[in-house]
Amino acid sequence: MDISLSRGTRWSARARRGRGVRRNLTAYGFLCAALVCFALFSWYPIVREVILSFQKTNFIGETKWVGLKNFHRIFQDPSFSAAWKNTAIFTLLALICGYAVPFVTALLLNELRHARGYLRFVVYLPVMLPPAVSVLLFKWFYNPGPGLFNEILRFVHLPTLAWLDSSKTALISLVIVATWTNMGSGTLIYLAALQTVPAELYEAAELDGAGLLRRIRHITIPQTKLILLVMLLLQIIATMQVFIEPFLLTGGGPDNATVSVVYLMYQYAFNFNNYGGGGALGLMLMLVLVVFSAVYLRLSRDDRDSRPARV
Amino acid sequence: MKRARRLAAVVAGVTALASVAACGSGSGNGDKGGSAADVGPLDPNTKVSITVGCQPPKSSKALRKEWDNDVAAFEKLHPNITIVSKDAFPCEDPKTFTAKLAGGQMENVYYVYLTDAKNIIENGQAADITKYVSGVKNYQYLQPQLLNVFKGGGRLWGLPKTNYSMGLLYNRKLFQQAGLNPDQPPATWDEVRADAKKIAALGNGIVGYADYSANNQGGWHFTAEMYSQGGDIVTPDGKKAAFNSPQGHAVLQNLQQMRWTDNSMGSKQLLQIADVQPMMASGKLGMYLSAPDNIPTIKDQFQGKFEDYGLAPMPGAQGTLIGGDGYMFNRKDTPDQIKAGILWLEFENLTPGKGQFDWAQKNADKQPVGLPQPNIFTGPPAAEELQVRTQNANLPVQNYKAFADGDPKVKYRLEPPQAQQIYAVLDGVVSSVLTNRNADINSLLSKAETKVNGILANAD
C-alpha cells in the first residue's frame, strides 16, 4: 500500500513537472531566442572587445598578444586626455541642459490646460527625425555667415558667434544639438511621472497657500525623485557615448576641441586600422559606464522592492 | 691573387644572394609552386570562373551597361572564362574592406585603393602575379610609380586601374567676374592668394579659396600643399616628422593670411569635401585643391556646369599628391583564375580604346570624356589613349589645358606612412589656423611634430 502510494505520488509529481514544462515551452522558446540574440550581438562582442584590447591585429595578418601596450600607447596620445576632458564637459553640460530643459518643459506642459496634445507632439517631433538629419540641420543653423542663429543675433543687434568654428563655443554648440534632438523622450517620461503625482497633494498645498515653486520643491520633486534619479543615470550613460554630433558637425575639431572618447575610438578602429587601440579605449569607457549602470540597477531594484506587493 | 680572391668572394656572395632570393620567391604568398605549364597562357579548353569586384552600381545606369557589355564582349572573346561581377558603391569601403578580406569574402579579382596595397602585400593577403603578367601587352608602359605601389619583396601583387594627381580646380566664371584671365590660372601660392582676394571681393558670400579642415581631410590637403612647396611630411626613412620646416610654415602662413588678413576663405570652416563641392557647384567658390574627377561629381551630384570649371596644376609645382586604385588577386586563386583575371584586367583597364578607355562608347553614352586623367600609361599607349580621348571629347578640354600641360612636369608623390593618423594630427593644425585668428604657427607645428614622432615611433 505504502509502495503504491509513493509510486503514485512520484508519477503525479513527474506529470505535474511535465505539464509545467509543456505549459512553459513557448516561454522557454522565447527566452532561448532572446539569450541567443544577446549572446551573439551583445555578450560575444563585449568579450571579443576585451580580448582585442590586449592584442595587436588588423584581422588579416598575425594576431599578437601585446599585454598593456595598447593602453600605454593610448595614454601617450595627446588626443586621449582631450577626448576624456571633452566627454566629461559634454556630459556635464548635457546634464545641465538636457536634464533641466525636458523637466521644466514637462512641468509647463503638465500645468497647461489647452493644446496639451499638440504641444506634446511638437516637443516630441525632433525625436522622430533621423539623428543625421537633425544634426545636418544644425550645420546650417550654425553657419557663421548666413546661418540662422547668426541671422537672429544680427536681427537683435548682438555680436555674432563662430559657433562650431571656435574651440570656445564648439562643444556647447554640440550640447545644444544633443539637447534639442533628445529632449522629446525625456519630456514625455517626466510628464508621465508627473501625472502619477496625486492631485490631492497639490490641492492641499494650494489650500495651505504654497506657491508654484514650493509645490515643485515639496511635492513634485520628492514624488518623482526615483524617476529623476534613473533618468539622470541613463542620461550620463548616453551622453558619455556622444559620437554622431562631433562626427557629423566638427570632425573632432577645431584642434581636438570636440573630439569625444567614442569618436576617438572610431578613429583608431576605422581610420587608423588600430583595432587594439580602439578596443582599449572601448574597455576604459565600458568600465566607467559599468559603474553608472551598477548604480542604475541598484536603484531599479530599490524601486521594485519599495513597491507594494501585488495581491 | 688578392684581386682574384676578392672576385671569388663577390661571386660567392652574389650566388648566395641569388639563392636566398630564389628561396624567397619560391615561398611567396599565393605562389603555389606552379609548374612551367602554369606560367603559360590559359588553356582555351579550361573552364574558369572568376568573381570580379567594382561593377558599377545599378544607380549608375550607363556605367553599369558599359561594364556588362564589356563582360559580354570579353566572354565572347574567351568562351572558357566566366566573369561573375560583384557590384558595390563605393567600390572599397574602408570600414568593411578589412573584415571582407579577413573573412575570406573577397572576390577573386578585387578592387583596392593604391593606399591599401602596401598593407595587403605585407599581410600576405594577395596572390603573387609576377610570372603571369609577361603576356600583358602594355605592361611595360604602365607608369612606374603606379606599378611600384603593387610591388613588394621584388614581386608584383596587383595592377593599377586609374590614378589621380591633385591640382587646382577653379571657377572660370568667377575669374571673369573678378577681372582675372580664366586661361591663366594662378601658378604660385602668391598668385592663388592674390586671385582669391579679388574673387572674395565680389561679395555676396563668394569665397575666394576654400580648404578642408575636418575628418582628417585637412591633414590630407596640408600634405598636398606641402608637396607643392617642395616640403615633406616625414623624413625619407619614414621615422621622423619633417613638416616643421620652412615649407610647413609657408603653407600655414599662406592659409592664415588668406583667412584672416584677406578674408578670402569665408567664415565657415571645418569644411570637408562634401561641403566644398556644393559651394563650387553653386558658384560661391573660386578655387580649391582637387583631382580632375571632382568635375563630373560637381556636375552630376550638385548640378554644376562643365563649362564653368577649369583645372590647373598644383600651385608651386614642386610636387603633387597622387592616388588612385587598382586590382589585386585573392591569395586563394588558382593559377588559371589568376590568368583569367589578368586577361580581364588587360581587356577592361589596360588597353587604350577598350573597356574603361572606350571613349567612343562613353561619348555615345553621354559620359564625360576629355578629363586629363586617368593617365596610367607612358609611351605609345599613352599617346594612343590621349588621341582617342581627344577625338571623342565632349568636355571643354581647353579648360584643362593648364593642368594637362603642367601636371606631368610636377613630381608625383604618394601619401606618407601612417597617413590617416598623421592627417588626424595635421587636421588639428589646419583647423586651428583657420578658426583661431591668433593661432601660433610655430607652436602648432612643434606640438604636431612631437605627436607625429610618437606615432611613427610606435608604428611597427
- Residue of B421, B426, B433, B447 best to disrupt the A interface, most CBs of A under 10 A: B421
Residues B93-132: tens digit of each pLDDT: 766 787 787 777 889 999 998 888 988 898 788 999 999 9
DSSP-derived 3-state class of residue B127? coil
Residues A19-31: tens digit of each pLDDT: 777 778 888 888 9
Contact across the interface for B123 and A270, Cβ inside 8 Å:
no
Q: Which of A102-106, A269-273, A297-301, B398-402 has the lowest mean pLDDT?
A: A297-301
CA–CA dist B390, B369 (Å, integer): 8
Instruction: Please tell me the distance in Å from B96's CA to the nearest CA on chain A.
Output: 9
Whether residue B245 contacts residue B266, with contact meaning beta carbons closer than 8 Å, is answered with no
DSSP-derived 3-state class of residue B90? coil
Handedness of CA B23, B27, B33, B39 (dihedral sign): negative
| Closest-approach residue (CA) in chain A for B422 | A272
Residues A186-226: tens digit of each pLDDT: 899 998 999 888 988 988 988 888 888 888 888 988 888 88
Residues B302-330: tens digit of each pLDDT: 989 999 999 999 999 999 999 899 999 99
pLDDT at A301: 72
Question: CB-based contacts of B310: which residues, under 8 Å, 6+ apart?
Answer: B169, B170, B171, B172, B175, B182, B183, B185, B399, B400, B402
pLDDT at A163: 93
> Cα B206 vs. chain centroid, distance in angstroms?
30
pLDDT at B459: 73
What is the mean predicted confidence (pLDDT) over A91-112?
87
- Residue of A165, A167, A243, A265 best to disrupt the B interface, most CBs of B under 10 A: A165
Residues A40-66: tens digit of each pLDDT: 999 999 999 999 999 988 777 778 899
Whether residue B362 contacts residue B391, with contact meaning beta carbons closer than 8 Å, is answered with no
Q: Is B312 left (phi over 0), alpha (psi -120 to 50) or beta?
A: beta
pLDDT at B13: 40
CA–CA dist B440, B253 (Å, integer): 10
Closest Cβ–Cβ partner in A60, A164, A256 for B270: A164
pLDDT at A114: 81
Amino acid at B433: V
CA–CA dist A25, A21 (Å, integer): 6
| Closest-approach residue (CA) in chain B for A58 | B98
Residues B191-224: tens digit of each pLDDT: 999 999 999 999 999 999 999 999 889 999 999 9
pLDDT at B190 over 50: yes
Going by C-alpha positions, the residue among B441, B448, B429, B447 that lies closest to residue B257 is: B441
Per CB-CB distance under 8 Å, the chain B contacts of A250 are 214, 270
pLDDT-based confidence at A233, cuts 50/70/90? confident
pLDDT-based confidence at A4, cuts 50/70/90? low
Contact across the interface for B268 and A252, Cβ inside 8 Å:
no
What is the mean predicted confidence (pLDDT) over B334-353?
96
Instruction: Please tell me the distance in Å from B421's CA to the nearest CA on chain A.
Output: 6
Q: Residue B257 corresponds to which cell in the numbers above?
A: 593670411
- The alpha carbon torsion through A233, A237, A239, A242 (nearest 10 deg) reads 180
pLDDT at B326: 95
Buried b (16+ CB within 10 A) or exposed e, A99-116: bebbbebbbebeeeeeee
- In the block, cell 576654400 appears at B210
CA–CA dist B173, B179 (Å, integer): 10
Above pLDDT 90, what percent of chain A?
Answer: 38
pTM of the shown model: 0.80
pLDDT at B10: 40
pLDDT at A22: 77
Sketch out chain B's domains with CATH numbers.
167-320+412-458 (3.40.190.10)
Radius of gyration of chain B (CA): 24
Where does B78-188 have alpha helices with state H? 94-102, 114-122, 144-149, 172-177
- CA-to-CA dists, residue B350 to A286, B114, B138, B162, B364, angstroms: 51, 16, 7, 10, 21
Amino acid at A48: R
What is the mean predicted confidence (pLDDT) over B163-167?
94
pLDDT at B237: 92
Radius of gyration of chain A (CA): 26
pLDDT-based confidence at A302, cuts 50/70/90? low
CA–CA dist B334, B336 (Å, integer): 5
Going by C-alpha positions, the residue among A226, A217, A238 that lies closest to residue A107 is: A217
- In the block, cell 593604391 appears at B114
pLDDT at B192: 98
| Closest-approach residue (CA) in chain B for A63 | B123
Residues B248-291: tens digit of each pLDDT: 999 999 999 999 999 999 999 999 999 999 999 999 999 999 99
How many C-beta neighbours within 10 Å does residue B202 have?
16
- Residue of B98, B256, B275, B460 best to disrupt the A interface, most CBs of A under 10 A: B98
Whether residue B416 contacts residue B223, with contact meaning beta carbons closer than 8 Å, is answered with yes
List, in sequence order, every beta strand (DSSP E) within chain A. 55-56, 64-65
pLDDT at B35: 45
pLDDT at B29 over 50: no
pLDDT at A9: 63
Measure CA of the first residue to CA of the last residue in chain B; give whole Å: 46
pLDDT-based confidence at B335, cuts 50/70/90? very high
Contact across the interface for B420 and A253, Cβ inside 8 Å:
no
Contact across the interface for B98 and A273, Cβ inside 8 Å:
yes
Going by C-alpha positions, the residue among B460, B402, B439, B433 that lies closest to residue B168 is: B402
Instruction: Please tell me the distance in Å from A129's CA to the nearest CA on chain B.
Output: 21
What is the mean predicted confidence (pLDDT) over B176-204?
97
Closest Cβ–Cβ partner in A167, A249, A271 for B424: A271
DSSP B52: E
List, in sequence order, every beta strand (DSSP E) within B137-247. 151-152, 155-156, 158-165, 167-171, 207-209
Taking each helix axis from N to C end, the angle separating A116-128 and A78-111, rounded to the nearest 10 degrees, works out to: 160
pLDDT at B36: 44
Contact across the interface for B98 and A165, Cβ inside 8 Å:
no
Closest Cβ–Cβ partner in A58, A164, A272 for B420: A272
pLDDT-based confidence at B396, cuts 50/70/90? very high
| Closest-approach residue (CA) in chain A for B438 | A166
Whether residue B420 contacts residue B223, with contact meaning beta carbons closer than 8 Å, is answered with no
- In the block, cell 590617416 appears at B420
Above pLDDT 70, what percent of chain B?
Answer: 91
pLDDT at A10: 64
Handedness of CA B417, B418, B420, B422 (dihedral sign): negative
Going by C-alpha positions, the residue among B379, B325, B389 that lies closest to residue B353 is: B389
Longest dimension (CA), chain A: 102
Cross-strand pairs, B320: B412
CA–CA dist B237, B244 (Å, integer): 16
CA–CA dist A6, A265 (Å, integer): 65
> Under an 8 Å CB criterion, which residues of A touch B?
58-61, 73, 76-79, 143-146, 162, 164-167, 249-256, 267, 270-274
Whether residue B327 contacts residue B162, with contact meaning beta carbons closer than 8 Å, is answered with no
pLDDT at B16 over 50: no
Q: Residue B259 corresponds to which cell in the numbers above?
A: 583667412
List, in sequence order, every beta strand (DSSP E) within B117-171. 151-152, 155-156, 158-165, 167-171
Handedness of CA B392, B395, B401, B403 (dihedral sign): negative
pLDDT-based confidence at B376, cuts 50/70/90? very high
Whether residue A170 contacts residue A257, with contact meaning beta carbons closer than 8 Å, is answered with yes
Contact across the interface for A145 and B205, Cβ inside 8 Å:
yes
Q: Is B191 left (phi over 0), alpha (psi -120 to 50) or beta?
A: alpha
Q: Residue B293 corresponds to which cell in the numbers above?
A: 574627377
DSSP-derived 3-state class of residue B44? coil
ipTM of the complex: 0.73
Above pLDDT 90, what percent of chain B?
Answer: 72
Mean pLDDT of chain B: 88
